[in-house]
Structure 1
Amino acid sequence: MTISLITGANKGIGFETARQLVDLGHVVYIGARDTERGQEAAEVLGARFVQLDVTDDSSVRDALATIEAREGQLDVLIHNAGVLPTDLDGPTALHAFDTNAVGMVRVTEAALPLLRKSDNPNVVTVSSSAGSFWAVTNPERPEFNLPLALYSASKAAATMLTVQYAKSQPGIKFNAVEPGTTATDMTAAFGVGRPADKSARIVVRLATLGADGPTGTLQDENGNIPW
């Protein structure tokens, strides 16, 4: 039995990733800040809910303690919770990095003891090519003209954290993913994106890597991305 935890999974890519992993037979824990929304999502999917706010140390500790008590281990961790800020000021910057990058550290550190009990632990970061220095400096890429400073910077940090964890935790696979421009609540203002279930497929692919799978990469549906 494969135990999976997805942060920010009550909607969007996280929700569709949960759906696909449930279909594959995983025991999926939907982590969400809002208890009512999280429970509703879990009931719809046949998943389990755990209250988890990636910006709150106590919430993170309690969530992982709950999973440890119920399951004894964790096989898959998906860092999906994120924000896409458009304002550019100090408080917004702190919130963006706290959610998109620091939250990863909170959850990963709390999860490591459980991941080490797995025979094939996988950690996937839903990152972005908007955080790729290669992409944002390449005039032929759409990211070149994307004016999202805090989102790009915090996703660059998320990818770097993924790579550093891959180096420091050789027994656990850590990979980051660019899921593709997706129509979610976060992107509603831009009016762009494909259905979330299509973007979730690449997340699921990395979440279900075999023991000999890659680690320390940033990938999209076509393979590795320079970053």
Structure 2
Amino acid sequence: MSGDKSVSFTNCMSQMYIFSSLTCNELLILTAMSYDRYVAICNPLHYHMIMNNGICLALAASCWALGFMEVVPHMLAISRFSCYKSNEINHYFCDILPIMKLSCSDTTLLRMIIFIEGLLLVSFTPFLLTFISYVFIIATILRIRSSSGRRKAFYTCSSHLTVVIILYLSLVCQYLRPSSTDTLDSNKVFSLFNTAAVPVLNPFIYSLKNKDVKTAARKQLKSLMT
């Protein structure tokens, strides 16, 4: 807003840590939510006993703690960089990949950490757990005899599933593209979608299940049409 595009190295590292941690937190929280949907659909009679306040608090605290801890090795590896090709980042915020490409230091350790911890632990494990939850959820829904029952069960997890699909698709496009198409300019486009479009869409996706919101939306559309 001020027009000043400069940022200190400390602030850049802080921004990178916070952004990466919150991304990890979001993936872990969505994984916990998939377990919640699994319990709600596959064990509805025991839902309140299984997903009690203590379990919900433990899941939320674990997601936040792990999210902020998992990024620490990335930051330690980046802090060891002693040489950069330029002091200008071809990005609109401090992200790991642009900083890594800008460095002329050895990035082997950071690439290894990104692959082992970033892809396998932060991305693949939450995705696998979410996928397994939805395998059981879909299997349970298909066993419901009435079409209204199946529709109601699917409606229960539709918002969460939509958010999961959008987020993982954006992350795949941003971080797992072939090297031949992996340019900083294209990375900025996917980063913008991931950091701006996805958070804006989330409230609309979740609130569309709310009857009051849908009623208000219909009234607003009718007033605009008349």
Q: TM-score range by the shorter chain?
A: under 0.3
TM-score when normalising by structure 1: 0.26
Q: Which has the larger share of strand?
A: 1
Q: Considering Cα pairs closer than 8 Å and 6+ residues apart, tell me whether 1 or 2 has the greater RCO.
A: 2
Q: Which has the larger share of helix?
A: 2
